[in-house]
Amino acid sequence: MCDICHQVPCHPRCPNAPDPIPVFICSGCGQDIYEGEDVYHILGEQFCERCINEAREEAIYEDDEEFHFDI
Ligand SMILES: [Zn+2]
Ligand SMILES: [Zn+2]
């Protein structure tokens, strides 16, 4: 049993825990995506959850002042 976290296997945040294995590299930020984390496959590329959250926003119609129709 581990002396630090007293768990078998080690708690993931224990300094004795083995490094998690990166499964994918995010195409957006280049960071490793580890086993057990969410990964988003988009058009053949992999993105981490953080990039997806940053990319998502609500679609809001903005009235373009410079765009006029001549009727
Ligand atoms: Zn431990
Ligand atoms: Zn990312």
Give the pTM.
0.58
Surrounding residues of ion ligand 1, Cβ less than 5 A: 2, 4-5, 10, 14, 16
Domain span including residue 41:
24-58
16 domain-assigned: no
Residue-level length of the chain: 71
| Count of domains for the chain | 1
40 domain-assigned: yes
pLDDT at 62: 84
| CA–centroid distance, residue 35 to ligand 1 (Å) | 19
Burial (CB < 10 A; 0-12, 13-18, 19+), residue 67, is exposed
Surrounding residues of ion ligand 2, Cβ less than 5 A: 26, 28-29, 48, 51
| CA–centroid distance, residue 60 to ligand 2 (Å) | 25
44 domain-assigned: yes
Q: Which residues pair with 52 in a beta bridge?
A: none
- Which of helix, strand or coil describes residue 52? helix
24 has a pLDDT exceeding 70: yes
41 domain-assigned: yes
Q: Distance between CA 6 and CA 22 in Å, rounded? A: 25
| CA–centroid distance, residue 43 to ligand 1 (Å) | 39
Mean pLDDT of 6-17: 90
Instruction: Encode pLDDT of 25-61 as tens digits.
Output: 999 999 999 988 999 999 999 999 999 999 999 999 8
